Structure 1
């Protein structure tokens, strides 16, 4: 039976992690070719992956979403409010990050409630009808950002 030292196991784990990050990068570039123009993307994604792991994020879907957010919002996890939220006790980092994604989705889909509209912008009326083009665009951006499909069954 093959026995590996701790250093060898760590090296294999790093190779596996780098492959994971590279596959996510390839998917991101395939979905948004403009990202290929960012020469720093691979190193940013690797730093973000290491930061996610240090924060305690372990679930694969959350790691992928963390890297997707990094691709469009470099260093988001270093912002004091984000870091404070993700490290706050009481829930696991994976649960906290999932909550973070839900709040960001809500803010994107409801800019009228978070100061996202400028003068002359459109708002939703009491009937629930608003600028569907803007909402569709925001929803598409969000789904691209976190890699979700168009269904609304995820909360």
Structure 2
């Protein structure tokens, strides 16, 4: 029987993790082709994956959702309030992240409770260039919710 050293097991786990992140990146780019134009996306998703593991988030659906949010909102998890919420004792990081995303979705779906959409919108859907993906408009709504503008291009 083949026996691996701890270093070899760790290296295999990292290879598996990188494949996972690459698979999520490919799915994101398929859903929203504009993401494929971001040369920083692979490295940002990898950093986010390492951060999500440090927070203790383990469920695949939460890992994927975390990476999806990172794709649209660079470094969102570095904000002190988010970091504090995810690391707060009493519940698992998976439960806390799930709760966080429920609140975010509620705010996105109910903009009337945060003063309406940008430019006096009435709460209808936002058209960000014609992509049919339900996630393509999320980026602008997400940045609006967390207080970041949609400008910036590659910055």
Interval containing the TM-score (normalised by the shorter chain)? 0.7 to 0.9
Q: Which structure 2 residues correspond to residues 1-155 of structure 1 after superposition, within 5 A?
A: 1-117=1-117, 120-122=120-122, 134-135=124-125, 140-141=134-135
Instruction: Please say if residues 45 and 67 of structure 2, whose CA atoms lie closer than 8 Å, have aligned partners that are also in contact.
Output: yes
The 1:4–1:144 alpha-carbon spacing in structure 2 relative to 1, beyond 3 Å, is farther
- For the aligned residue pairs, the C-alpha RMSD in angstroms reads 2.4
Call closer, same or farther: CA 1:19–1:86 in 2, change over 3 Å: same
Count of residues in correspondence between the two structures = 135
List gaps (5 residues or longer) in structure 1. Answer: 123-130, 146-155
- Residue deviations 1:5-42 (CA, integer Å, cap 9, x gap): 00000000000000000000000001100000000000
**Is the alpha carbon distance of 1:28 and 1:10 closer, same or farther for their aligned partners in structure 2, counting shifts above 3 Å?**
same
Distance of 1:119 and 1:25 partners within structure 2: 31
Q: TM-score, normalised by structure 1?
A: 0.79
Q: Unaligned 5+ residue runs, structure 2? A: 128-133, 140-155
Residue aligned with 1:62, SS: helix
Q: Which structure's CA Rg is the greater one?
A: 1
Q: Is the CA contact (8 Å cut-off) linking 2:126 and 2:137 kept in structure 1?
A: no
Deviation above 2 Å: which 4+ runs of structure 1? 115-122, 140-145
- Deviation, structure 1 residue 112: 1.1
Q: 1:78 and 1:141 mapped to 2: Cα distance?
A: 22
In the TM superposition, what is the alpha-carbon distance from 1:46 to its structure 2 partner? 0.2
1:71 Cα deviation (Å)? Answer: 0.2
Q: Is the 8 A contact 1:109 1:135 kept in 2?
A: no
User: How far off its partner does 1:117 sit?
Assistant: 3.3
